């Protein structure tokens, strides 16, 4: 069977598929893009050359081969990745057997589904715009499959019509979106499986691992402070995972099986409350301003003061926190923990160990050590740089301190903590974010604000908790501006080819809309719906009320669309046509005459005169007046109108008279 579709139809079907699949291409296996190109090229070749459809058995083999490839590259199982990949692959392969209108409709409708699956990964504002475009292209493809208004590939009239339908559908969509009941928790599958995962800070740190985050300007979270209590930028340390185990190269996190015990902080420290809207990171960490006082609901506070969510953060997450803005947290340090926190590879980095020994000889106090180390970083020429030379040897500390001397936060933090441990002070690396862009009513923290700093435990025997954790940020002495201006703004060197200041600023500016978008649309849930219903005065939300609301939405939007369409398609007559209609109206009760309306003025007058010779004069007068104006082919002038009116009135009177005489006789 050769194709029953026109080349234009095939073009639109392919376009709909391509537009729907494109935003997912990045996460599909490598072979997908070439396969899609081949399929599309083949489909067009077949169309142009009028080649028959391939045998079903061959198509079946192709489908099975594609399935095997999916299993090979993504594994076997019922996960989001695999099911979405299968859906997309089969949609693209379906093009091979799209020869009839029926199949074409099927493929194009599947495009809606494919477009939707992209939302499972991200609901970003820009993406939403793109997917609206996709819905438009798909709808237009449907229209073209059904009927082609013209031969042009982009028929303006039809394109406008399809966008018009979507625009008319919008009020319904918005109202239904607001009123439709939501589920509090998923019926099937956990949100861990299906969610918008994205990489953020990980629970490991080896030289160079944070560098990827520096390249990423996407938002990590947004913070809304109360009125005017936003701390200075250099105090914005957003605490994430704490890494305390070091194998000479990589830092890892210690798993605690309990929550934080008793802590204390300086009485002078300011306590601030704020809300965080966290972008999904596909992990359990949550971030908070150092030091967080209490864990919000649904999360745990580990002994290292890091917040952990019960579920993976796979969707936009909102929580409120209160923090003490201080760099000192009193906490008991058990003996077994102290042992880990002093651990470092004994046989390595001997040069550094010797230097520490020398420092210890002059001043053995904790603060003496810290200051010596910070002074060392400040006075020796260390450089803050995004592109430090890679560290290859086993002795990364020695290599960094004495050879490369260039690095960023993770190098400084890591080296500093090892130095402190060598000096016999318990210390650990804290990862998280530092700073943020003030957007007016909220603070935007981007992935590129990722940071690492150090914490040293200082013994204070006279305190009831025996000591405190002191935050030390060695990066701040190397590059003090880092804390005020953010990492992206202090280095001249471009991070990537597309790294321009104006682009960065535009993105930051766009984030304002994203924030609103998140607040109003993306994060609309059961509780916000409840608040909305309360606001418009609907207190009880049982099934009956809800059904009434939904039905009335349906009826209201239906009435809206109906009246709009009815108004749009009403017949539009010019002035003269309206006179003709008024004329015909006089004979509404005469089926024999009225039925001839479409035959034209002459025919109608003829049949009137035939039936009622008495009306001959007035009818003919009107007809002549009408026809003269009609064939003059000009606009009606006021004089014309007067004349028509005059003859019309006379005719009307005669017709009425005739009815009277009929009823009398």
Q: Say whether residue 390 binds another protein (CB under 8 A).
A: no
In the 3-class helix/strand/coil scheme, how is 598-617 assigned residue by residue? HHCHHHHHHHHHHHCHHHHH
Phi, psi for 292 (deg, rounded to 5)? -75, 135
The smaller minimum CB distance to another protein, of residues 10 and 135, is found at 135
Residues 508-527 that bind another protein (CB under 8 A): 521-525
Q: Say whether residue 27 binds another protein (CB under 8 A).
A: no
Q: C-beta of 562: minimal distance to another protein in Å?
A: 5
Residue 446 in contact with residue 217, Cβ under 8 Å?
yes
Q: Say whether residue 567 binds another protein (CB under 8 A).
A: no
Q: Say whether residue 128 binds another protein (CB under 8 A).
A: yes
Q: Say whether residue 78 binds another protein (CB under 8 A).
A: no
Sole window of 49-57, 101-109, 392-400, 462-470 interacting with another protein (rule: CB under 8 A): 101-109
Kindly tell me which residue out of 163, 166, 333, 342 binds another protein, with binding defined by CB under 8 A.
Answer: 166
Phi, psi for 225 (deg, rounded to 5)? -90, 160
Torsion over CA: 414, 415, 417, 418 (sign): positive
Residues 524-543 that bind another protein (CB under 8 A): 524-525
The smaller minimum CB distance to another protein, of residues 172 and 386, is found at 172
Q: C-beta of 544: minimal distance to another protein in Å?
A: 20
Q: Helix 409-422 and helix 366-379: axis angle, to 10°? A: 140
The smaller minimum CB distance to another protein, of residues 78 and 183, is found at 183
Q: List beta partners, residue 644.
A: none
Q: C-beta of 146: minimal distance to another protein in Å?
A: 5
Q: How large is the C-alpha radius of gyration of the chain?
A: 38
Classified as helix, coil or strand, 21 is: helix
Residues 102-121 that bind another protein (CB under 8 A): 102, 105-106, 109-110, 112-113, 115-116, 119-120
CA distance 382 to 326: 28
Residue 98 in contact with residue 111, Cβ under 8 Å?
no
Q: C-beta of 205: minimal distance to another protein in Å?
A: 32
Q: Is 538 exposed, middle or buried (0-12, 13-18, 19+ CB in 10 A)?
A: middle
Q: C-beta of 139: minimal distance to another protein in Å?
A: 7
Q: Say whether residue 84 binds another protein (CB under 8 A).
A: no
Q: Say whether residue 571 binds another protein (CB under 8 A).
A: yes
Residue 495 in contact with residue 446, Cβ under 8 Å?
no
Q: Say whether residue 386 binds another protein (CB under 8 A).
A: no
The smaller minimum CB distance to another protein, of residues 173 and 510, is found at 173
Residue 264 in contact with residue 213, Cβ under 8 Å?
no
Alpha helices (H) along 440-542: 474-478, 482-485, 487-490, 501-517, 526-535
Q: Say whether residue 170 binds another protein (CB under 8 A).
A: yes
Q: Say whether residue 186 binds another protein (CB under 8 A).
A: yes
Q: C-beta of 395: minimal distance to another protein in Å?
A: 49
**Number of helices and strands (H, E) in the chain?**
24, 19
Sole window of 123-131, 339-347, 489-497, 650-658 interacting with another protein (rule: CB under 8 A): 123-131
Q: Say whether residue 576 binds another protein (CB under 8 A).
A: no
Q: C-beta of 415: minimal distance to another protein in Å?
A: 44
Q: Say whether residue 139 binds another protein (CB under 8 A).
A: yes
- Residue 49 CB: number of other CB atoms within 10 A? 8
CA distance 297 to 294: 9
Q: Say whether residue 176 binds another protein (CB under 8 A).
A: yes
Sole window of 216-224, 413-421, 557-565, 600-608 interacting with another protein (rule: CB under 8 A): 557-565
DSSP structure string for 53-92: PPPHHHHHHHHHHHHHHHHHHH-SSS-HHHHHHHHHHHHH
Q: Which residues contact 588 (CB under 8 A, 6 or more apart)?
A: 594
Q: Say whether residue 22 binds another protein (CB under 8 A).
A: no
Interface size with another protein, residues (CB under 8 A): 62
Looking at 282-370, which runs of residues are DSSP E strands?
285-286, 288-289, 299-301, 307-309, 317-325, 328-331
The smaller minimum CB distance to another protein, of residues 168 and 458, is found at 168
CA distance 513 to 516: 5
CB-based burial, 77-90: b 16+ in 10 Å, e otherwise: eeeebbebbebbbb
Q: Say whether residue 601 binds another protein (CB under 8 A).
A: no
x/- map, 193-212, another protein, by CB under 8 A: -xx-----------------
Q: Say whether residue 269 binds another protein (CB under 8 A).
A: no
x/- map, 296-335, another protein, by CB under 8 A: -------------------x--------------------
Residue 386 in contact with residue 408, Cβ under 8 Å?
yes
Contact residues for another protein, defined by CB under 8 A: 102, 105-106, 109-110, 112-113, 115-116, 119-120, 123, 128, 131, 135, 139, 142-143, 145-147, 149, 161, 165-166, 168-174, 176-177, 180, 182-183, 186-189, 191, 194-195, 315, 521-525, 554, 557-558, 561-562, 565-566, 569-571, 595, 598
């Amino acid at each position: 069977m050769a194709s029953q579709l026109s080349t234009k139809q095939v073009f639109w079907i392919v376009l709909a598929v391509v537009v729907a699949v494109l935003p997912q291409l990045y996460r599909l296996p490598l072979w997908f893009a070439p396969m899609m190109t081949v399929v599309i090229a083949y489909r067009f070749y077949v169309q142009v050359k009028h080649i028959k459809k391939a045998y079903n058995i061959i198509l079946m083999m192709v489908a099975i081969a594609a399935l095997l490839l999916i299993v090979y590259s993504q594994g076997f199982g019922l996960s989001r990745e695999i099911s979405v990949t299968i859906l997309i692959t089969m949609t693209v392969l379906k093009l091979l057997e799209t020869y009839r209108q029926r199949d074409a409709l099927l493929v194009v409708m599947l495009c809606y589904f494919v477009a939707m699956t992209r939302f499972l990964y991200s609901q970003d504002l820009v993406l939403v715009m793109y997917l609206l475009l996709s819905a438009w292209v798909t709808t237009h493809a449907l229209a073209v499959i059904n009927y082609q208004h013209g031969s042009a590939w982009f028929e303006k009239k039809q394109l406008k019509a399809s966008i018009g339908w979507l625009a008319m559908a919008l009020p319904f969509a918005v109202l239904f979106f607001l009123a439709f009941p939501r589920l509090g928790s998923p019926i099937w599958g956990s949100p861990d499986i299906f969610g918008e995962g994205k990489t953020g800070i990980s629970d490991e740190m080896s030289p160079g691992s944070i560098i990827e985050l520096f390249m990423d300007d996407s938002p990590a979270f947004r913070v809304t402070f109360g009125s005017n209590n936003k701390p200075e930028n250099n105090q914005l340390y957003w605490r994430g995972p704490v890494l305390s185990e070091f194998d000479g190269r990589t830092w890892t996190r210690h798993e605690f099986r309990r929550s934080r015990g008793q802590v204390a902080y300086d009485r002078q420290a300011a306590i601030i409350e704020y809300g965080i809207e966290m972008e999904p990171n596909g992990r359990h960490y949550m971030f908070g301003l150092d030091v967080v006082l209490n864990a919000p609901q649904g999360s745990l506070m580990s002994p290292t003061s890091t917040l952990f969510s019960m579920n993976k953060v796979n969707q936009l997450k909102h929580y409120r926190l209160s923090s003490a803005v201080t760099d000192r947290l009193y906490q008991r340090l058990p003996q077994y923990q102290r042992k880990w926190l002093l651990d470092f590879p004994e046989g390595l980095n001997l040069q550094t160990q010797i230097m520490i020994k020398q420092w210890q000889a002059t001043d053995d106090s904790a603060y003496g050590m810290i200051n010596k180390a910070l002074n060392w970083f400040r006075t020796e020429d260390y450089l803050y740089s995004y592109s430090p030379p890679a560290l290859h040897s086993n002795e990364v500390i020695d290599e960094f301190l004495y050879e490369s001397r260039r690095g960023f936060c993770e190098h400084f933090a890591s080296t500093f903590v090892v130095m402190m441990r060598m000096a016999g002070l318990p210390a650990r690396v804290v990862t998280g974010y530092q700073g943020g862009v003030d957007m007016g009513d909220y603070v935007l923290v981007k992935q590129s604000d990722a940071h690492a700093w150090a914490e040293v435990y200082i013994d204070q025997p006279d305190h009831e908790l025996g000591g405190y954790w002191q935050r030390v940020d060695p990066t701040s002495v190397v590059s003090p501006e880092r804390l005020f201006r953010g990492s992206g703004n202090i280095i001249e060197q471009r991070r990537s080819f597309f790294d321009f200041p104006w682009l960065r600023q535009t993105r930051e500016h766009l984030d304002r809309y994203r924030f609103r978008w998140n607040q109003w649309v993306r994060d609309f849930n059961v509780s916000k719906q409840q608040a909305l219903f309360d606001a418009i005065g609907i207190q009880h939300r049982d099934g009956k009320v809800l059904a009434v609301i939904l039905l009335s939405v349906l009826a209201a939007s239906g009435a809206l669309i109906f009246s709009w369409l009815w108004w749009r398609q009403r017949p539009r007559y010019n002035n003269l046509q309206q006179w003709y209609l008024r004329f015909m109206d006089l004979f509404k009760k005469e089926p024999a005459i009225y039925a001839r309306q479409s035959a034209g003025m002459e025919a109608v007058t003829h049949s009137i005169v035939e039936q009622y010779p008495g009306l001959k004069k007035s009818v003919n007068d009107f007809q002549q007046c009408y026809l003269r104006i009609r064939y003059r082919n000009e606009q009606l002038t006021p004089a014309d109108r007067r004349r028509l009116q005059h003859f019309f009135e006379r005719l009307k009177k005669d017709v009425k008279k005739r009815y009277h005489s009929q009823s009398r006789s």
